[in-house]
Copies of this chain bind each other. A is one copy, B any other.
Amino acid sequence: MTKRIAVLVSGGGTNLQALIDAQKNGKIVNGEIAAVISTKEGAYALTRAKNAGIADYVLPRKRFDSNRAMTVALVKMLQDLKIDLVVLAGCMVIFTEELAQSYPNAVINVHPALIPSFCGEGFYGLKVHEAALQYGVKLSGATVHFVTAECDGGPIIAQKSVAVLDDDTPESLQKRIMEEAEWKLLPEAVSLFCQDRLAVNGRTVIVKE
């Protein structure tokens, strides 16, 4: 059966767009984006969803007293929508363990660094790239991984490296990592999931032929 995908967003939704484009081009095999859920009202990602004819929902963080309360509401919404795969695509809310518990090995996140470098609490958005530049690494990149209760700590599905350039700013590095790594890795990982080709063995993810 075709897998129903929910994409969680908070902002511009460029990773969402990469998924929409991949779907249009037939590159999400056995899956369809069934819902786009934004944690912010008015996020441009919602417009992208409307333009693509995908149902869009808003679940504003400010409506809830805690991340946990919001996570419980999200899980209820995902279950009502009969979602099989949850994709965190630039979603700025840190959901609590109830999400991964309700969707074990079925929540995918993209992190803009080569985990375990520059990940975990405090490493989000531009802060990741600021840290990489401050450290002076010559390679950074992106990691697509399953979400567990541990922040950025779940089994890794795919990683792609991107060169850091001498004149990079956090913004330019962020942009290049999105273009060269995130927008490629994320649709590929989603398509593999939808084909039941991702086997998780402890911390290791194997792509089945």
Contacts and interface: CB of A to CB of B under 8 A. Distances in A.
Interface of A: 114-118, 133-139, 141, 143, 155-161, 166, 202-207
Nearest to A160: B139
Nearest to A202: B136
A133 B156 CA distance: 11
Contact of A136 (B134, B156, B207): B156
A161 B134 contact: no
B141 A139 contact: yes
Given A166-B206, A206-B166, A138 B116 contact: no
Copies of this protein chain in the complex: 2
Nearest to A145: B136
B114 A139 contact: yes
Contact of A138 (B117, B136, B159): B159
A124 to B, nearest CB: 18
Contacts of A166: 204, 206-207
A116 B141 contact: no
Given A114-B114, A166-B206, A206-B166, A159 B139 contact: yes
Given A117-B117, A133-B204, A139-B141, 18 more contacts: A114-B114, A114-B117, A114-B139, A115-B117, A116-B117, A134-B203, A135-B156, A135-B203, A136-B156, A136-B203, A136-B204, A137-B156, A138-B156, A138-B157, A138-B158, A138-B159, A139-B159, A166-B204
A205 B161 CA distance: 19
